[in-house]
Structure 1
Amino acid sequence: MMGTRFASKVVLITGATSGVGAAVARRIAAEGGAVVLGARGKEAGDRIAEEIRTAGGRALFVPTDVTVEADVARLTDAAVSEFGRLDGAFNNAGAINAFGPVQDIDDAGWRADLELNLTAVYYGLRHQVPALAASGGGAILNNASQLGVVGMASVAPYVAAKHGVIGLTRAVALENADQGIRVNALVSGAVDTPAYRNSMGATPEGEAMVAALHPIGRIARPEEIAAFCAHLLSDEASFITGAALTADGGFTAR
């Protein structure tokens, strides 16, 4: 065990079958927390939950499509039913569906990016906030990525959705500050995940190009982002709410 910051706490994590989501789940479980994992991939989700349990942690996987509100509600209910409470949530699921100049993106591509990257966060908040309130408060972290604060050509729907996540985060933080519920947004740079490896990191040239966008000279390891997320979800960050917090290797400092 790495510590006990999350002893007796229950944290829900979406997009938890690989990359940052899986790293956050492992980190929180290693610090004594129970983790409830939601994602579409049942085989991968069951494997990560079993890995955590084998290491002595507490974990539950619930197959979840975050674009379906009934799935999101079931995930939250499962956390409370299995572990008796909910103390935190990391709304991490997201991906880019539509590529190209805005005039070439059709309605289906626009809707797909907004549904997965923004509406899914709204569904999460709708169900997580009451559960956290019933537990006496807690923390929510929404993954906005670096494209929640800067623009990028050819992915306008994703950029719009991630900017929306930050606005939604701030509004819900203000609505719930008096209930002891903190809501923040994660602004991260590129991270060495399977999704990254299948896209820009698939070639040495692509990897070098992406690394060069970060003044620190490289992309992040999932464990680095997980450490930051764990801090923001812990009581050590008790005075932080309504913020968009950066761990991006200097990407947005330019």
Structure 2
Amino acid sequence: MSNLGFSGKSVLVTGAAGGIGRAAALAFAREGARVAIVDVDAKGGEETVGLIAQGGGDAFFFKADVSQSAQVEAMVTAVVERYGRLDCAFNNAGIEIEHLPLAESDEATFDRVMSVNVKGVWLCMKHEIRQMLKQGGGAIVNTASVAGLVGAPGMPVYAASKHAVVGMTKTASAEYGRAGIRVNSVCPGIIRTPMLERALEREPRREKNILKAHPIGRLGEAEEIANAAVWLCSDAASFVTGHQMAVDGGLTSI
């Protein structure tokens, strides 16, 4: 455990049944935080809780669809009822379900991606910030993407959704900074997650091009994004707000 100031603090992580969310939940727990695990996948969420318990940490699972306002409000209420307050939130839940150029995208895909990636982050921040205003401050990190900083050919709707996350992050940081609430985003490059592994199984040739996109010469790991989220939420980042941290192996540098 390092000294990032999480001992006794409560942290909410959405999309924590696997991938980056699970890695972040485990990282927060190792730092001494009490962690609320949120996902639509109850089995995976409970597994994350179990992993934290094995390490001696304090965590619980709450099933919620972040695109549903009542469920998000109940999620925040559950954290406060269990831990007394909400110190930090990592709004990580998101989906990626398109691989088509813009003119071939369909309306159903647009609505689904926007519902989770944009409306979901908006709802989470809305209810988290209301609680943080009551208690005098807090820290929020949203998962955006390098696709929120540059274009993403073949993923126009996903890119639009992540640009929206960046815009909401910047705006919320400006609106609530004086209230003691910091809001940042982490912008991952291409990360080795179960979602990516499934995509590469379908199209093995994609991996060579993906590797070329990163000057560092490899894919990112979920733990590397988790470490960035933990730092952004920590006391070590007390003067950082409105920032979009690219954790991308240099992808956006070329």
TM-score by length of 1: 0.96
Measured in 2, the distance between the counterparts of 1:113 and 1:239 equals: 32
Measured in 1, the distance between the counterparts of 2:112 and 2:8 equals: 37
Q: Which residue of 2 aligns with 1:83?
A: 83
Answer whether contact 1:4 1:32 (CA < 8 A) is retained.
Answer: no
Residue 135 of structure 1 and its aligned partner are, at CA, apart by: 2.6
Q: Which residue of 2 aligns with 1:163?
A: 163
TM-score by length of 2: 0.96
Measured in 2, the distance between the counterparts of 1:76 and 1:189 equals: 29
When the two chains are superposed, the root-mean-square deviation of aligned CA atoms in Å is 1.4
Q: Which residue of 2 aligns with 1:176?
A: 176
Aligned residue identity for 1:10: S
Answer whether contact 1:98 1:110 (CA < 8 A) is retained.
Answer: no
Answer whether contact 2:79 2:85 (CA < 8 A) is retained.
Answer: yes
Answer whether contact 1:133 1:179 (CA < 8 A) is retained.
Answer: yes
- CA change 1:4–1:143 in 2 (3 A) is closer
Q: Summarize the alignment of residues 1-40 of structure 1 with structure 2, pairs less than 5 Å apart.
A: 1=1, 5-40=5-40
Q: Specify the SS of the correspondent of 2:132.
A: helix
- CA change 1:204–1:96 in 2 (3 A) is closer
Aligned residue identity for 1:215: P
Measured in 2, the distance between the counterparts of 1:122 and 1:104 equals: 27
Q: Which residue of 2 aligns with 1:72?
A: 72
Residue 155 of structure 1 and its aligned partner are, at CA, apart by: 1.3
Q: Which residue of 2 aligns with 1:231?
A: 231
- CA change 1:109–1:202 in 2 (3 A) is closer
Measured in 1, the distance between the counterparts of 2:236 and 2:186 equals: 16
| 5+ long unaligned stretches in structure 1 | none
Q: Specify the SS of the correspondent of 1:198.
A: helix
Aligned residue identity for 2:6: F
Q: Specify the SS of the correspondent of 1:140.
A: strand
Aligned residue identity for 1:236: A
Q: Which residue of 1 aligns with 2:54?
A: 54
| 5+ long unaligned stretches in structure 2 | none
1:77-101 CA distance string (max 9 Å, x none): 1110111110010111111223322
Question: How many pairs were matched up?
Answer: 254
1:106-158 CA distance string (max 9 Å, x none): 22111111111111000001100011222321110011111000111221111
Aligned residue identity for 1:43: K
Give identity over the alignment, percent. Answer: 37
Answer whether contact 2:186 2:228 (CA < 8 A) is retained.
Answer: no
Q: Which residue of 2 aligns with 1:189?
A: 189
Answer whether contact 1:91 1:121 (CA < 8 A) is retained.
Answer: yes
Runs of 4+ in 1 over 4 A off after TM superposition: 1-4, 201-204
Measured in 2, the distance between the counterparts of 1:2 and 1:148 equals: 31
Measured in 2, the distance between the counterparts of 1:167 and 1:2 equals: 32
Measured in 1, the distance between the counterparts of 2:37 and 2:97 equals: 23
Measured in 2, the distance between the counterparts of 1:200 and 1:67 equals: 28
